Chains A and B, each alone.
Chain A
Amino acid sequence: MGKYILKRIVSLLPVLLVVAVVDFIIIHLTPGDPAAVMLGSQATEEELAKLRDQLGLNLPIYSQFGHWILGVLQGNLGWSIFMDMPVTQAIWEHLGPTVSLTLIAEVIAVLFAIPLGVMAANRRGSWMDQSFMMLALLGISLPSFWIGLNLILLFAVQLNWLPAAGYQPLSSGLANHLKYLIMPAVSLGIMQGALIARMTRSSMLEVLNENFIRTAEAKGLKLRVVTYKHALRNAMIPIVTVIGLSFATLIGGAVVTETVFNIPGIGKLIVNSVLRRDYEVIQGAVLLIAAAYVLINLLVDLLYAYIDPRVRYDKS
């Protein structure tokens, strides 16, 4: 088992390297002089030269990459020109809301999606199955920010039940925290919930056709036991993959949702940095999120081994 984990970690290194290179290249695609873009048209030649020097723009591109990647490995993601602080500090200050938001969104998505997907599969072809799946299809067809805007229209503007925007940290009390995050989390989670529900249904349908389900029924087990103990556990393997992927998509989606609800998270930080052309912040935050995604995938792989004994024993 330990060997399996180690092998998986080693296989991630090239992916992480590609991630870093891609991230670096994208930011350095900026046409023209980044210093001029950052400082605007009023900047003097002296100021520009100073910034170029500070950013290392006078060095050849590969040594710029070398400097940057060495810094990254030491935990230095760069310097935010606009906020005048290290990128790591900027990210740290914005991390809490994003983690909270994506976790709540994921929990909402999984909590609704799996039971609904299972029910739909168990009653295949029924009106319930069809209406669930129609809803799920609608769910993957609506942009999350539009759902968010509509929720604000309904619950904040019309009914005045929830605040239209803003954020309160967990330290202000769980109820208060949730009051601000529930709408963003729902609007963010719907699409992933819909995807998970669709995957749950199709995976369950596939498993329900298997011979061992017939064996379980031939033993006289109750439908509930057959469904949840025998079928769902086997069906979980592709579902877990989708859940893992959904985490990454949620973090990405948080960029938009945080803007809609004015939540001071990583997403808002990235969008603001794009508008402010604070490139090192974008570079650092994007790298961090991609790396988080790679790690989540590792966890998913380890979870497979937990769910499926065949993986556990073959690879150890």
Chain B
Amino acid sequence: METSSVTITGTTTASHARGRRSILIRRFLANRLAVTGSILVACIALVCLLAPLLTSYDPLEMMVQDRLKPPGSSHWFGTDDFGRDVFSRVVYGSRISMLVGFSVVAITSAIGLLFGLYSAYYRRLDNLLMRINDGLMAFPAILLAIAIMAALGPKMSNVIVALSVVYTPTVARAVRSAAITVREQTYIEAIRALGGKAQRIIWRHMAPNCLSPLIIQATFIFAYAVIIEASLSFLGAGTPPPEPSWGNILNDGRTLLKQAWWMTVFPGIAIMITVLGLNLLGDGLRDLLDPHTNKAKR
């Protein structure tokens, strides 16, 4: 509750904050897994940004004479049945995964924070919102996503909408439970008794304490979003071809499993690296920021 005592007196001295931050950074760097995770995520982010520099092939260009070539010096990951270079398709596919992941995290964090905070503060609203939350969380994530995609039609932007609907309740719940612990502290009662404004209490006192759980959740949601985007595209309900997404490359490869294993293996490894990186990072952040699990591990 260090942060809460700081916020109430409003005496966050710069040196204090800096000291605390440097301790956090040092602890983070000491966590080998978390560092590995951030390196993996950084690598994928670089691949996604530098895609045109990494490959000389257009991911959509069909070279009929080069159909189903196994991995070799000219095509590192081989080619697919249209003669497209699998390496450049996987490289460009990272852009879809990252875009979907980022957008979903941004949308769910914003809406989830709003719902979570107000729900924690206003009891009556809480009752309603949490019932809706429970209802939404009763659907298995991928099934809800598929149902929404069925209604909206296969399009990348619709994947973002669907996953935002699926994961906003998760964020809202995490934010709410963190905010409630703050709300129930005596000093909040004191501020309220002294006529403190609701908005100020919510944003000045409750919101800062929800940041850690929000960041942790966001990391894991990014990971889930990458997996579910791939699953939806694999089923033909996500990013439609010919645009390369890891999921639809796998879908193309499925029928050619016997002839072209490389169409299945490489995009899968790309998904694995991304999601593993995010999970490692999420675990690391949780160890770092969540005092409860910290205690349990000692």
Give residues in A with beta carbon < 8 Å to B.
14-15, 17-19, 21-23, 26-31, 137-138, 140-143, 145-146, 149-150, 152-153, 157, 164, 202, 205-206, 209, 248-249, 251-253, 255-256, 259-260, 270-271, 273-275, 277, 279, 282-283, 286, 289-291, 293-294, 297
Contacts and interface: CB of A to CB of B under 8 A. Distances in A.
Contacts of A141: 223, 272, 275-276, 279
Contacts of B268: 142-143, 146, 149-150
Given A289-B139, A290-B138, A26 B279 contact: no
B52 interface: no
User: What 10 A-B pairs are tightest by C-beta distance, nearest first?
Assistant: A252-B140, A18-B135, A146-B268, A141-B276, A141-B275, A274-B150, A29-B151, A206-B296, A252-B142, A252-B143
A260 B236 CA distance: 12
Given A30-B151, A142-B268, A271-B146, 18 more contacts: A19-B139, A23-B147, A26-B151, A27-B147, A31-B153, A141-B272, A141-B275, A143-B230, A146-B250, A149-B254, A164-B257, A251-B143, A252-B141, A256-B235, A282-B146, A282-B150, A290-B138, A290-B139
What secondary structure prevails in chain A residues at the interface with B?
Answer: helix
Is the interface on chain B under 10, 10 to 19, 20 to 34, or 35 or more residues?
35 or more
Contacts of A153: 257, 261, 264-265
Interface string B253-286: 1100110010011001001100110011001000
Contacts of A164: 257
Contacts of B265: 150, 153
What secondary structure prevails in chain B residues at the interface with A?
Answer: helix
Contacts of A18: 131-132, 134-136, 138
A15 B258 CA distance: 46
B296 A145 contact: no
Interface in B31-57: none
Interface of B: 131-132, 134-136, 138-144, 146-153, 223, 227, 230-231, 234-237, 250, 253-254, 257-258, 261, 264-265, 268, 271-272, 275-276, 279-280, 283, 293, 296-298
Given A29-B148, A274-B150, A286-B147, A293 B138 contact: yes
A271 B236 CA distance: 9
B143 A289 contact: yes
A256 B150 contact: no
B235 A271 contact: yes
A255 B142 contact: yes
Nearest to B149: A274
A273 B135 CA distance: 23
A121 B68 CA distance: 47
Nearest to A208: B296
A274 B283 contact: no
Given A14-B131, A141-B275, A145-B234, A22 B136 contact: yes
Given A141-B276, A150-B268, A293-B140, A22 B135 contact: yes
Contacts of B276: 137-138, 141
Contacts of A297: 138
Nearest to B133: A18
A255 B147 contact: no
B137 to A, nearest CB: 9
